[in-house]
Structures are given as C-alpha cells and as structure tokens.
Amino acid sequence: MTPSPKVLVVDLNNFASYPTLAIGSLVASLRNAEMDVTVLCPLSHDVPAMVRERQEGWKDQLQRWVFFSTNPALNWSRHGVRALRSWWISRPHPRVMQEVTCALEKKPDIVLLSVYLNHYPSCVEIGKLAAKHGIPVLLGGPVFNIELITKEWLRVPGLTALIGGEVDRTLPDLVRDTIAGKDLLKYEGVFYPDGRRSPTPAPLKDLSSLPVPDFTDFPWGAYPGRVIPAMAGRGCSWGRCKFCADVYTANGRTFRTRAVTPMLDELVELSKRHKSKNFILLDIKLNSDVRMWRGLIENFQNRIPGAGWVATVHVDQRPDNGLSKEDLLAARQSGLMRINFGLESGSQALLDKMDKGCKVESNSRFITDAYDAGLSVRVSMMQGYPGETTEDLQMTVKFLQEHRPQLDRIRLSQFKAIPGTRFQEEFDRDPQSYPDVSRFSWDYRDARGKFRYNTASSRKYRRAKRQLLSIVHSINKRPLRPGAEEFDGLM
C-alpha cells in the first residue's frame, strides 16, 4: 500500500480569536483524501496573535492620530512610523521560523502556504528552508487570481507553483501531482515561477457537498472564547463598490450561496465537535440572499438551542433586503448578538461616488432598528476616498453624533487603492477623473496604490478629520453593550 502523503500546512494568519476558516477547509479536503496533515499554527507556539479590535485606550487614539495625519509637515515622520509598523507586523517571526525548521526536519512531502499579502517576508524564508530540504512548496491565497500581484509573488524562492483559484475540490489531486513532480498546468489557476500558467478558473458554482472544515489542529484553549467561524456563501450580491477588493478575490468573485439546511447541518456538526454554540458568520454580505439570512434566523435556535452569533450585512436598496425592524428583532431572538455593516460615510454624495448602493437615511434607520432590537452595532467606515470633501467629513461627523449612543464600535480605515478593483480600472483609464490625486504609483507586491490626496492637506479638512477621530474614539472606548462582550474583538 502506498503511504499517505505527508502534508505540512503553515497557517501564517495568527488570529487571536478563532481558527482560520480557509485552513480548516483545506485540511478537511486533504484528510478526506486520506492525507497525513500537520498544521503549524503560530498561536500554538505562543507567538503573540493579532487582536482585531478591542475597547480602546488612549494609546489606540494616539496611534490613530499618527496614522490618519495628513498634515504635510508630518509626512516624513508619519511614513517612517507606518513603515516601521508594517515591517514589524510582516517580519518573519523567529518562533514561527524555528517551528517550520523543526517541521521540515520531519521530512513532509510538501509544504502548503495559505497567505495574505503581509506574509511575503515569511514566505521568502520558508521557501528558502523548504528548498534546502528539496521539499516542494505550493502557495495560495485569495488575491492570487489577480495576475499583476501574482507575478510579483512568483519571486518567492523555493516556490513550486502559485495557485490562484478555489481549490476546495481539486486540492488533493494537485498535492499528489506536485509530489509526483507532474505537470500542474492541467489544473486551472496555476502559475509557475518560469512564467508558464494555466487559464483562470471560473468561480466554483456549486458549493454543496463542500467538506465540513476541520479545526481540530487549532489551539482552542488559547482563544478567549470558543467561537467557530463559518461561511454560508461566497461573494456579494451587490459587488459594485469601487474600493472593494473582496469581490475580485478568488473566492469573492460573483455571489454563490449554499442551501440553508446543509449550512445548518454544518453548524450543528461544528458545535458538537468543538463544544461551543458561538459562531462568527464570515460572509462579506450575509443578506445577499435573504432566503439564507432568514433561513438562519428561523432555524438557529431550533437546531442549536442557546446559540449566539455575529454577522455582516449590507444595507442595500432592494425592496426587501431582509433588514426590516421585524427581521432584526427576529435575528436578535435567533441569537444574533452583534451586527456589522459598511457605513463608510454620512454623505450621500460620497456614498454615490463609491457606488456603495446605500442611502444615508436607510443606514440611519437600520442603526436605530438594530439597536432597538438589542443588537450590538458595529460599522466600518472609510476616510480619504478620492473626492471626499471637508463638507462630506462634516456630514459624517454629524451622522455619528446623532447615532453615537446606538453604536458600539467603529472600524475606521483610510482609503486604500487596491489593484483589481473598479477604482483601479477607472483611475488607470482616466486619472483626470480624480483631479485631487497626485504622485500615484502601484506596488503590486503589497497590492497597494501609493498616492497623495491633495484635499486632505487643507486646514479645514484636517479640522473635520480631527472631529471624526475624536467621535470614533469616544465610541470605541466604551465597553460593548451588555451580553455582547463574548463576541468582542471578532470583527
């Protein structure tokens, strides 16, 4: 009998709160194919994990002042602090490298790396180590279907191939063929370092019969709560926001959903396995298909009595988006504890520029209804989208002042220009349509556009921005509303 292939999966995503869903799915697919899988999870080796969000203190506000500063006199010091922070976050962690070295000495047949873009330096080091042992390396991640990014990453040493696509069903065969040294170009989405590549795969249409993710390798005792990640569908039914990169990733392209019953069956199974009734639904827009959204709401407590969960929605303009007052009350009764949505701005003109598909009044009503239903409301927001004026910022401040008591957390980020987005398409086609953007250049390895947003340097704009930062901090420094604490720091 041929021995089972020995697969080393290195999870470079060191999240503090729950296991990495993508790794759990890959591992399940490999183990179902009788492979001998080892998962190297940094948190299991006491590597400090990334905390997504927490009740803020003065240091968080200070950091935000520095990062959001657009004062021209502080340009150099701000860039210096940012560069230092980014180097620190993405540096290969010595403990992880030590554990990878030990794991490679056990002679796995292959190394699989599932990565985000800040992992480049770690991938380089792991690639070199694997090459020393003559072990093939496959590297994959959500953005590797975007060719300009992929080309940069093909420079990682020791790389056998880079995979840009959803490999839920093909991974075991890909792994076997890689170990056997066979040509991988018969699989779609494969890039070789020498420039050969196969066609881009179409998004996986049928999400039924995907294996239940295997999270048994994760250090459950190290997480503050036992929260299980899950996903009901891939992509977003709107998919038009100009800044959004999620809908261009390998698994975010086009919206596809599972059926309600198999989804609930999976949640029940995971709840039994991991002895927990708490879930985070990682869909980028869980109300994309209101049948799934309502199906979960109607059945969560029947199937898992006492369950608690959190989710992200989009307050879109469909006549029925599943987010009425009644829906939100029912959602709370079904165990939904926290709800997150992309508010982005309190200015309709700016939301329209982004093609966000939202109305300020609907966002306002949604926040009030969700709060009244007993939900902890979290919003993500964006500052510095090209075209944002001082007046737009002032409207956002006013909006937040009005809703301050109803909001539990705000995730405020600065606009990032990302390759593959509608923003890139428009900007590259006609830079003049963004007259306030200057000194633009793309960095494909880090998947970022570097530029200057001239409007942001003016005194009036900066004053409005300071008000925005203050109100965000005044909200984020409060504890979460009672009952939701167990779900803090997840989103």
Binding site for ligand SF4 (CB under 6 A): 236, 238-241, 244, 246-247, 284-285, 314, 342
Nearest approach in angstroms of CB 333 to ligand SF4 is 26
Whose Cβ is closer to ligand SF4: residue 238's or residue 293's? 238
Nearest approach in angstroms of CB 356 to ligand SF4 is 6
447 CB burial (10 A radius; 0-12, 13-18, 19+): buried
462 CB burial (10 A radius; 0-12, 13-18, 19+): middle
**CB atoms closer than 10 angstroms to residue 139:** 26
Q: What is the spatial distance between Cα 10 and Cα 42, in angstroms, rounded to a whole number?
A: 9
3-state secondary structure of 338: strand
Whose Cβ is closer to ligand SF4: residue 214's or residue 283's? 283
Q: What is the spatial distance between Cα 6 and Cα 183, in angstroms, rounded to a whole number?
A: 20
3-state secondary structure of 211: coil
Name the nearest CA neighbour of 388 among 314, 464, 473, 316: 464
Whose Cβ is closer to ligand SF4: residue 144's or residue 255's? 255
Question: Residues 451-460, buried b or exposed e (16+ Cβ, 10 A)?
Answer: bebbbbeeee
Q: What is the spatial distance between Cα 6 and Cα 84, in angstroms, rounded to a whole number?
A: 38
Nearest approach in angstroms of CB 233 to ligand SF4 is 12
Q: How many residues does the chain have?
A: 491
Nearest approach in angstroms of CB 460 to ligand SF4 is 28
Residue that is written with structure tokens 């985000």 in the block: 116
Nearest approach in angstroms of CB 25 to ligand SF4 is 20
Whose Cβ is closer to ligand SF4: residue 112's or residue 382's? 382
Nearest approach in angstroms of CB 273 to ligand SF4 is 29
Whose Cβ is closer to ligand SF4: residue 39's or residue 292's? 292
CB proximity list for 393: less than 8 A, separation 6 or greater: 347, 383, 461, 464, 465, 467, 468
Whose Cβ is closer to ligand SF4: residue 313's or residue 471's? 313
Nearest approach in angstroms of CB 244 to ligand SF4 is 3
Whose Cβ is closer to ligand SF4: residue 252's or residue 308's? 252
Q: ∠300-302-307 over CA atoms, to 5°?
A: 45
Residue that is written with structure tokens 């307050």 in the block: 315
Nearest approach in angstroms of CB 299 to ligand SF4 is 25
Whose Cβ is closer to ligand SF4: residue 52's or residue 169's? 52
